[in-house]
Chains A and B, each alone.
Chain A
Amino acid sequence: MPNSIEITDLQKRLGHFVLSIDHLQVPTGFITGFIGENGAGKTTTIKLILDMLRPNRGQIQVLGRDAQKDGSLAKADIGYVGDDAGYWASMRLRTIANITAPFFPRWDWALFDKLLSRFRLDPKAKYISLSKGMKKQFELVIALCHHPKLVILDEPTANLDPLVRRDILDLLLEMMEKEEVTVFFSTHITSDLDHAADYIVFLHQGKMLLFGDKDTIIEGHRVVKGPASLLSPGSEDKFISIQKNSFGFEALTDDPQWALDTFGKEAIYERPDIEQIFIGYTRKEDR
């Protein structure tokens, strides 16, 4: 099955910041988590995919179409929740939907009403009167009501309380189960992706550090903990990142077998979470 998003040799300069992605594929039918610290370039990448920004170089294919030349045709199948929806603040929710619906051939009013009801949003309420979490919920409703094939979310759960975050993630997972939807989800809250994501992409200072199947990446890494006496200059260099203190060391390796062969039962080996892997790779990059 072709990928929903394919990025090749992408470069975008914004002032002193340079985004540079050699190759990125977002597989169809899965949730891909796009992780990076603040300012890593996640929003820039997403805006390039949606043709809000023009690249200096490179090619982006979205649902089989060139994002710059035919991106508008692809957008009928894309749902997007960004950092700022751009809705008119004093407009009622129903009016926003009335303006939006004609642009999407597959707009589903029954689904719109159902999702508004689920989130307890009043269609007569003005957008400006909603709380931050309610705004995000409404933006997600608008993004999903035309049965998109690809949902792109740019930090949709940032600054939201755990209950609202859970609601949003649960809805996404339900949509995935009912329809073949691809989700591309950028965040710096890695815990949101620990149980939801199928694939993960790490972005740091405009560069892609890692991409792959989440479970494979996690299984392919270990956090190794032990006394400092276990370390030698040769072994330190083999770690992706290492932290030492008076008690010992904690390091990340992408070769669990090597670590086991080298340190044996003297060290402790733990399966890392996404955050630990991400921090490890960014520390390696910053050295």
Chain B
Amino acid sequence: MQNIIRLIKADATKIMSVSIIYQLFPIVAVIVAFFAPQAMPLVLVLMVYLLGYGLLSYDENYHTQNYYAFLPIRRSEYVIGKYAFSLVLLVGSIVVCFALSFLGGMMMDADRISNQQLPSLYALSFILTALYLAIQYPFTMFLGGVKGRIVALVFYMAVFSFAFSGDILFIVLGWLQNSSLFLLLVAALALYFISCIVALNIYEKRDIA
């Protein structure tokens, strides 16, 4: 457990030094959360992709795996650390962005998502991001950083961008408000954990350098 916490801290520190884009994106996210929360599902998926999955891909492409191989950590701790970091990032982002969206809803006139719809919106964001990562991480563990990134792009651009443009978002939100949101959240989280187990099995067997 201690090593996983250290790995999460290491990834958080890495974000500050890898690229300026990694540091700017959270700022973009909070601005969008305040002014245009209807875009948050796409923004959150992209942000967690960049900051969470992006660091994994960076490890694969720039031989950072060599550094982790030198540390006294198990392979399983490395994988769990990546999943945990992304989850912490996602949950933390949702909390902050939800608060900003709520504030924006109170301060601005509404040609935007109403505050009543915000819980469904952010639940949808969590579900989409968790599903996205649940699919993406095992692919990257199996294929490596370069091929994994191509798969990531296909999933993001072809599936999420298309599916949630225009009025489709409001239709989905309406359906979510009538459904058991809690069960859907639990299902997304369960899939995320199953993905972690799959990724663990892949990573245990493969050559990492």
Contacts and interface: CB of A to CB of B under 8 A. Distances in A.
Given A47-B209, A54-B207, A72-B74, A86 B68 contact: yes
Given A86-B63, A88-B14, A89-B62, A53 B71 contact: no
B69 interface: yes
A99 B13 contact: yes
A113 interface: no
A84 interface: yes
Contacts of A92: 17
Contacts of B14: 88, 91
Interface string B42-73: 00000000000000000100111111111111
B112 interface: no
Interface string B1-24: 001001001100110011100000
Nearest to A43: B209
Contacts of A54: 205-207
A72 B66 contact: no
B208 interface: yes
Contacts of A98: 13
A53 B207 CA distance: 4
A84 B18 CA distance: 18
B177 to A, nearest CB: 43
A147 B84 CA distance: 31
Given A75-B71, A103-B71, A86 B206 contact: no
Given A86-B63, A88-B64, A50 B70 contact: yes
A72 B72 contact: yes
A52 B64 contact: no
Contacts of A159: none
A185 interface: no
Contact of B66 (A76, A84, A90, A95): A84
Interface string A65-90: 00000001111101010101111111
B18 A88 contact: yes
B108 to A, nearest CB: 39
Interface string A92-119: 1001001110111000000000000000
Contacts of A50: 69-70
Interface in B153-209: 205-209
B73 to A, nearest CB: 6
A92 B63 CA distance: 18
Given A86-B64, A88-B14, A90-B17, A80 B70 contact: yes
Interface in A17-69: 47, 50-54
Contact of A52 (B3, B65, B73, B74): B65
A87 B67 contact: yes
Contacts of A95: 13, 17
Interface in B81-113: none
A103 B9 contact: no
Given A53-B209, A90-B17, A84 B72 contact: no
A76 B67 contact: no
Contacts of B63: 84, 86
A104 B72 contact: yes
Contact of B9 (A86, A99, A104): A99
A95 B69 CA distance: 19
A50 to B, nearest CB: 6
A52 B17 contact: no
Interface of B: 3, 6, 9-10, 13-14, 17-19, 59, 62-75, 77, 205-209
30 contacts: A51-B69, A51-B75, A52-B65, A52-B66, A52-B209, A73-B72, A74-B72, A75-B70, A75-B73, A76-B72, A80-B69, A80-B70, A82-B70, A84-B66, A86-B63, A86-B64, A86-B65, A86-B69, A88-B62, A89-B62, A90-B18, A92-B17, A95-B13, A95-B17, A99-B10, A99-B13, A103-B3, A103-B71, A103-B72, A143-B70
Enumerate the 7 nearest inter-chain pairs by beta-carbon distance, A residue then B residue, closest first: A86-B66, A86-B67, A75-B72, A52-B209, A76-B72, A52-B69, A91-B17
Given A86-B65, A102-B9, A103-B73, 6 more contacts: A50-B69, A72-B73, A74-B72, A98-B13, A99-B10, A103-B6
